Structure 1
């Protein structure tokens, strides 16, 4: 089965939204409040696609996963209970990474994350950041397996549960 990463297209939106809905169900079933307030919605994902920040993982001829890779300053990362190891160089934030339950357990998420990092690296980015909810153990495992180091707690825009574990990778 052919596996690769490419920029997301508008034609991918319905499949991406199915993956997002699947992820919301998974998070809810695992007891996490993350993504239970309507975020991310179709507008957020379409914005990722239109700004060419959205990427899809393709397995065979199916969209298996989605993530946004956004180069530039992330407002919620300006204050951290901890510290970034490199706060002067540009960085890319990886957001909204999710895989279809049909493709989980195949190691594709690790490859997808590596591919996104490689694409951004080729564009000159050497530092990467990501955050996740403290109950999202699969995401914590994924980022640690991709070489990210825990850096502290940031506050996201979730009024009910804003604390997020922040990670960084410097190449």
Structure 2
């Protein structure tokens, strides 16, 4: 059985193992890859109930986080009522099972229940296969933006570009 629930503090090591596996895949298929995440950032996501996991029976198959603001990437559009999906990572044994579609269905309900008009996400630009997958999941591709260097952004954003995606409810 597949379901989405909040992550909890006991999940943090498994979450980081999914991030590590995701980073290894990115190194193979993308021009850019994650540079690691601050453990406190993820612990905060968990504490603030913004880190979610997709369970397949009793195993964590996928993890993602949400936020309600992303000004460094979305600039003036950040004023819109939106949820932003970040750090989707799937366990290697569960890749290809359509979890982003599950996240989109969940996010539509969550966004509507929380008065949000948009679901947004970004990814490092240049990975056409991933971009096309997000489009197939219902996202509109909005183009590429240059990212600003900021201490508030993870290292993989520095000196690069991001592809932007959006679903309007």
Shorter-normalised TM range: 0.7 to 0.9
Q: Deviations over 1:101-150 (max 9, x none)?
A: 11012223321332133222222212111111123345323321222111
> What does residue 24 of structure 1 align with?
23
Aligned length: 161
Q: What is the alpha-carbon root mean square deviation over aligned residues?
A: 2.1
Call closer, same or farther: CA 1:117–1:32 in 2, change over 3 Å. Answer: farther
* d(CA) in 2 for partners of 1:26, 1:115: 25
Equivalent residues of 1:114, 1:146 under 8 A apart: no
> Per-residue deviation at 1:169?
1.0
**Residues 21-170 of structure 1: matches in 2 within 5 Å?**
21-35=20-34, 37-38=35-36, 40-78=37-75, 89-156=80-147, 157=149, 158-160=157-159, 162-170=160-168
* d(CA) in 1 for partners of 2:133, 2:46: 23
Deviant stretches of 4+, over 3 Å:
135-139
**Which blocks of at least 5 consecutive residues in structure 2 are unaligned?**
150-156
Question: What SS is found at the alignment partner of 1:45?
Answer: helix
Please say if 1:7 is aligned against 2:6.
Answer: yes
> What does residue 152 of structure 2 align with?
none
Equivalent residues of 2:5, 2:52 under 8 A apart: yes
Question: What SS is found at the alignment partner of 2:5?
Answer: strand
Question: What SS is found at the alignment partner of 2:31?
Answer: coil
**Which blocks of at least 5 consecutive residues in structure 1 are unaligned?**
none
